[in-house]
Structure 1
């Protein structure tokens, strides 16, 4: 078979050698096809669409051969789909459910009956789309949400356009909520149109198939390519995309500056019920839409595809702010934003009250997910970075759909009641209830200085492990990039930052805001140690310690607190000081003084910032030798000399001198910080000693 590999509008990713490595394992080939389809966002977004294959297996109950359908399970993502994410069902049992199906009012019960069709006992919960695959006879099936196909599906004259593009080779089924009856409609469409290569679902997406995984893959790509080419020609013929430009974009750097100023305010407003994490984009696709004359008409219509609006809400909030608005006066800006958010929340409540059913779940958070600022860009806010980024990507898909549908004829969205019935579907609510419990620091944004290694890295790692998104900062660019390499951009970002430089700190916070929307936790862990007698301590030593430890803490608190105040969500500042700030020891005048200054500044800030619910605390380590960067330099030699021992004896020496006789590790300090920000939520101005118990360092 000749492999056709040239496509303009989709990526051909099939690797023959990779596919050959799976041999005749059809499930493995189905998973491979799924993954490469999901790798192209023009084909389907994260969590969107589903795929399947059918194989012949031995029934463990009677040892007879039976047909089994393997299909993406509920809540999965085809781009990252593995064997654990699929369901295996007896195809015949699934089809026999037609005998007990009682109509549209019976849809929810039918989902429960899918479990009676399970073949593989390790199956993921079958999704609502399971019968759409099971009632079709093909061995391999793709259900995808390509922008081009949804544009066709969402066009006013979708059925006619389908005929124009594919002739009699494609079927068309009008919009219907996913479920068993839609599976019956697909089955009927195929029976009425034998020999078709796929089916367009009105306002929804695409079904394609093949006898082999490769044939199915090629069929999907070819169908999407044909639609994309058709739309591209229509757009080329239409000189005024989205009615032409109404607003001119600010220059790129100005857009980012505006976004950084505005995001903490938006985050605070969008978090009125639940704390949210943000995302910003100002791509050309977004700017073309948000700056257009048609934005005012199209934005309120909402999205057409269920997968889109389930993640983006029924419609975005468009900010009535001029692109040149002075954002420096937060109160004045909030005076303009508050009514816009209140109106959006009220409209969402009206939508809920108008469309709800007696058994509908309680109204969800009425705040917007997508926020549009013409001339600047598009913001999104949701429970974590991945969810908000995906929501943003889905709205970009929706923009592409609107552009295509408008170029074809006219864009149409789902009726509000149809949209509500999907958004508040009891089965969708059940899926939400099955989500794992959020981690303690979920929805929180942390920034940690000195995170390139040692104590700072341990703290930042702990923040990520407990659910926060984290900005790792360090003076050493190579080090901070190395320690964040194990995370993806939805978990952590690396920023080079000199904590003695006010401009560098301002930039670090700007990067935090643009990456995640704001900041909730500030940990100043950057440090160094110099152990010298009074006579040997130079002014250079003194200035270096004061600048890194004290000035750095001051600048971090100053920049960070201003963002926290904009958000109006409170926050935590935790400073890593030392036992040496409390204990008078030999050869320690500069270091001990700087640490004492850190401790007292913490008390002062705790008193000043309490009115804004910003808590400020200190964690005091002592003797963190193993894994600490400080002990890699001359500090170890100085402390060994001061105590009359060798460097090699230091770990044991420090362990023996504390009451618990414990070696203190960077992870122990990280646990102290975690206690401050996640457990001791009514504590401020305190010192948490993590030193194994040093009686002479007891603060009270």
Structure 2
């Protein structure tokens, strides 16, 4: 069977002849182009997975002679966004000569350091463990990918026989073995024993395909994956229902979201017993088909097969024994059910480590689950940051696809526990983890800053993201929120923040914002009450409407946002921070300011009261008192600025200088100054401080607390 370009149904043909023609003659540029196309289709490879290579002639910097060099994706990185800086470049002859010093499979890890003696481009990326797998094959262009359709066959009990029959012997087979030098030798042996094959299936692992040009390699890869996909599609539900048929029904979409939002903070707290984790939730149709099935109880404990999968998802998921429609309102009762399940999972993982560890194995890592399944509702994942949690979920969906395919054509087989352990606790993987940058001060933290589409709130959100947090950006002004969304999207990656409409006078919108935080990130750690407004009028001109608006937004808004945030924090039981942006006016009497000043005073004392009550929950409540932060602030638009200028007998344009001159430091206060203060009280150095007031006003002596 020959699959033509127009026949592709299960993969995307993205090759642009015109674009490729522009790169003609530059094999490395064509490698990058091909890699980006492959990485753009998640049916071909998953995020950060797989590697590609090309071999071409280059001038030796010392001899000046033409010599063969291999460019291969280096350690880490993602094919979809790969650039030349992400490639390792090695002399092919020198890489081949490493065979002369290879001491056998028990010593193959030492070969990784020897890769450095083969480097052609000294500024290139560090070579990955898969380097010899490309280097020992003679082809000019090679793709090593982890397509779900191929791994489904590779992980099937009869995978070798299916591969031989499906491809009429044109695809070789190499049994499972941990990636490394010896696997590269086995690939070459397979080729030598099967001359003329177009690729090799790696048992339980993935696929190698190749070509003499970038295009030939690309089209070969697509054709092989397409054929695997067609084969699986022909078998789904043919002999038996998928995953043994459905055992339970899912809740309706809105009910699933409501259950997930209610449960996520409880799960996050239990998963954060070692360090703060960030969550992700999905109720993707593929997930629901699996988690609602009769075969869930059999397949989930087996774990995943491909190393790329279980390195990110742990050996197996935790399947919750909760009814989809369980009443989650009694948090204590739910925890009494969940805590034994978590303890059992931790014990299982510890037993797995103890039974498989070697004398030189790294210390046991966090024993909490990464993937948590709630039948009828969806799947949660928890990790050090949002991106890692989201990618873990994506990889488990890959594993679901693999199990579905393998079960359709044969029966699914996972890696033996010892083999899985040897990958998870591989000393080379540990070294990679140790080389990763240290976490930032707010890594693993989730923040909601009211009024964060502009001014002080936006500056705080930016500072928190810069320091590693994820943020719920919100505002009561839809246009302003849309503008902020665009700004954050172009400044940060999509995993750094989420948006929510939030009018702090609306109980429904307050609850919705915290539900969004729970669904997007798992819960909340930091609440910053920043939303505000100002009305400056003499006593005679103040109206009841003015008074109610000030107190509804500043006082009631602060209280009810804090109340909702505290409810989430208590579910998590890992402490938290409430920071209230109040004002110098809470302490200082000024003209034409009765409503605003008294509301600010109420905010300040409310903060003290909350600090006194929430200490036993390890929830700190602190105040930042700014003054005259004019830049990008809605408060200073229109009547307020005019009112303050009139009160002081100056023009609006003179206000910034006026406020600066009356301070001890003669400084103009900027939104960034307030953001720095908020970081100071939440960044870890003041974890034993609560009930404090931090002035950021340039020094206004009459506003000193003591």
Q: Does 1:496 align with 2:497?
A: no
Match of 1:596 in 2: 601
Secondary structure in 2 aligned to 1:378?
Answer: strand
Secondary structure in 2 aligned to 1:528?
Answer: coil
How far residue 19 of structure 1 moved from its aligned partner, in angstroms, is 2.5
Q: TM-score, normalised by structure 2?
A: 0.98
How far residue 582 of structure 1 moved from its aligned partner, in angstroms, is 0.6
Secondary structure in 2 aligned to 1:535?
Answer: helix
Secondary structure in 2 aligned to 1:572?
Answer: strand
For residues 551 and 315 of structure 1, what CA distance do their matches in structure 2 show? 46
User: Can you list the C-alpha shifts for 1:213-234, whole angstroms capped at 9, x where unaligned?
Assistant: 1111111111000000000001
User: Can you list the C-alpha shifts for 1:504-546, whole angstroms capped at 9, x where unaligned?
Assistant: 1000000010000000011111111111111111111111111
Match of 1:454 in 2: 455
User: Can you list the C-alpha shifts for 1:51-84, whole angstroms capped at 9, x where unaligned?
Assistant: 1111211111111111111111112211111122
Match of 2:168 in 1: 167
Q: Does 1:134 align with 2:135?
A: yes
For residues 56 and 541 of structure 2, what CA distance do their matches in structure 1 show? 79
Gapped runs of 5+ residues in structure 2? none
What's the C-alpha RMSD, in Å, of the aligned pairs?
A: 1.1
How far residue 279 of structure 1 moved from its aligned partner, in angstroms, is 0.6
Q: Does 1:85 align with 2:86?
A: yes
Match of 1:671 in 2: 676
Aligned 1:477-556 pairs, distance under 5 A: 477-485=478-486, 486=490, 487-556=492-561
Secondary structure in 2 aligned to 1:114?
Answer: helix
How far residue 619 of structure 1 moved from its aligned partner, in angstroms, is 0.7
Match of 2:194 in 1: 193
For residues 234 and 551 of structure 2, what CA distance do their matches in structure 1 show? 65
For residues 7 and 602 of structure 2, what CA distance do their matches in structure 1 show? 66
For residues 248 and 457 of structure 1, what CA distance do their matches in structure 2 show? 42
How far residue 489 of structure 1 moved from its aligned partner, in angstroms, is 2.6
For residues 416 and 3 of structure 1, what CA distance do their matches in structure 2 show? 41
Match of 1:571 in 2: 576
Match of 1:32 in 2: 33
Aligned 1:88-487 pairs, distance under 5 A: 88-485=89-486, 486=490, 487=492
For residues 318 and 530 of structure 1, what CA distance do their matches in structure 2 show? 54
Match of 2:624 in 1: 619
Instruction: Assess if the C-alpha contact under 8 Å between 1:270 and 1:276 holds in 2.
Output: yes
Q: TM-score, normalised by structure 1?
A: 0.99
Secondary structure in 1 aligned to 2:437?
Answer: coil
Secondary structure in 1 aligned to 2:498?
Answer: strand
Gapped runs of 5+ residues in structure 1? none
How far residue 236 of structure 1 moved from its aligned partner, in angstroms, is 4.2
How many residue pairs match? The answer is 699
Match of 2:655 in 1: 650
Instruction: Assess if the C-alpha contact under 8 Å between 1:477 and 1:495 holds in 2.
Output: no
Match of 1:630 in 2: 635
Match of 2:700 in 1: 694
How far residue 35 of structure 1 moved from its aligned partner, in angstroms, is 1.3
Secondary structure in 1 aligned to 2:541?
Answer: coil
How far residue 239 of structure 1 moved from its aligned partner, in angstroms, is 4.4
User: Can you list the C-alpha shifts for 1:389-411, whole angstroms capped at 9, x where unaligned?
Assistant: 00000000000000000001100
For residues 536 and 230 of structure 1, what CA distance do their matches in structure 2 show? 79
Secondary structure in 2 aligned to 1:590?
Answer: helix
Correspondent of 1:681 among 671, 677, 687: 687
How far residue 3 of structure 1 moved from its aligned partner, in angstroms, is 8.2
For residues 447 and 569 of structure 1, what CA distance do their matches in structure 2 show? 16
Secondary structure in 2 aligned to 1:167?
Answer: coil
Instruction: Assess if the C-alpha contact under 8 Å between 1:626 and 1:651 holds in 2.
Output: no
How far residue 633 of structure 1 moved from its aligned partner, in angstroms, is 2.1
Instruction: Assess if the C-alpha contact under 8 Å between 1:75 and 1:431 holds in 2.
Output: no
For residues 605 and 649 of structure 1, what CA distance do their matches in structure 2 show? 38
For residues 173 and 569 of structure 1, what CA distance do their matches in structure 2 show? 48
How far residue 452 of structure 1 moved from its aligned partner, in angstroms, is 1.1
User: Can you list the C-alpha shifts for 1:626-681, whole angstroms capped at 9, x where unaligned?
Assistant: 22221122111111111110111111111111111111100011001110101322
User: Can you list the C-alpha shifts for 1:589-610, whole angstroms capped at 9, x where unaligned?
Assistant: 1110111111111100000001
For residues 401 and 238 of structure 1, what CA distance do their matches in structure 2 show? 18
User: Can you list the C-alpha shifts for 1:92-149, whole angstroms capped at 9, x where unaligned?
Assistant: 1111101111111111100010111111111111110000001111111110000000
User: Can you list the C-alpha shifts for 1:460-511, whole angstroms capped at 9, x where unaligned?
Assistant: 1111111001000101122223223223331111111111001110000000
For residues 85 and 638 of structure 2, what CA distance do their matches in structure 1 show? 48
For residues 663 and 542 of structure 2, what CA distance do their matches in structure 1 show? 28
Instruction: Assess if the C-alpha contact under 8 Å between 1:627 and 1:665 holds in 2.
Output: no
